């Protein structure tokens, strides 16, 4: 959960253009989900590290998102599943760029392989330097969206 502001900013860029604010709120939950599940299992569940790894793998996230989507009302479940999974995959995409000196961070083919991959673009502890740019991105997106909506307001029937 070390850099959720950066993850939240990425979700903000991706989801802010969505007209449905409820769908947006699920994407934001989705982008926090892998870390919430990982830390939840690790610290509150006392689970070993590798037991938590499915929360940071593309296929491993599917049952988590599906189970959580079942708690929504029936009409919303499919959309909730898609939005949550989209947010969670965005999280994995950003985590993929981390540098763990080659030991890997994402089990990309779990459960078929335990091979972990990383791109090694930035160190986890360097996320702190990305916080201000992340806030700037959020502000910029908000500003742009606001201007666009003023120029082309949502047309309402009737």
Partner 1 sequence: MFSNKGYGWKLGAALALIAVLGVYAARKGESINPPLWRCVVEPRRWDNTVLWLPYARVVSVHDAEFEVEATDAKIRVTGKSPVPVGGRLTLRGIFRADGPRIELIASRPLPPDLGRRRLLMEVVSVLVVLIVIANFIRHFAFRPKVLQVEGVD
For binding to partner 1 (CB under 8 A), which residues are involved? 1-5, 8, 21-22, 25-26, 28-29, 32, 35-36, 41, 47-54, 60, 63-64, 66-67, 69-70, 72, 74, 77-78, 81, 99-103, 107, 110-111, 114, 123, 125, 127-128, 131
Q: Which is nearer to partner 1, 14 or 29 (CB)?
A: 29
Q: How far apart are CA 26 and CA 11, in angstroms?
A: 10
3-state SS class at 123: strand
Give how far Cα 38 sits from Cα of 51, 68, 103, Å.
9, 15, 18
Closest CB 105 distance from partner 1, rounded Å: 11
Q: Which is nearer to partner 1, 29 or 93 (CB)?
A: 29
Q: How far apart are CA 76 and CA 67, in angstroms?
A: 13
Closest CB 151 distance from partner 1, rounded Å: 25
Locus of tokens 């900013």: 9
């Amino acid at each position: 959960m070390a850099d959720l502001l950066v993850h939240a900013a990425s979700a903000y860029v991706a989801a802010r253009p969505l007209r449905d604010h409820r769908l947006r709120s699920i994407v934001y939950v989705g982008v926090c989900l892998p870390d919430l599940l990982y830390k939840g299992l690790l610290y509150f569940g006392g689970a070993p590290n590798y037991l938590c790894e499915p929360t940071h793998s593309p296929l491993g996230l599917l049952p988590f998102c599906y189970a959580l989507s079942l708690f929504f009302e029936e009409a919303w479940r499919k959309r909730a599943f898609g939005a949550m999974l989209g947010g969670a995959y965005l999280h994995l995409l950003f985590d993929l760029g981390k540098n763990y000196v080659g030991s890997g961070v994402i089990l990309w083919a779990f459960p078929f392989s335990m091979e972990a991959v990383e791109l090694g673009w930035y160190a986890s502890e360097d996320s702190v330097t990305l916080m201000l740019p992340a806030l700037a991105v959020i502000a910029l997106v908000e500003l742009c969206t606001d201007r666009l909506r003023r120029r082309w307001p949502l047309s309402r029937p009737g």
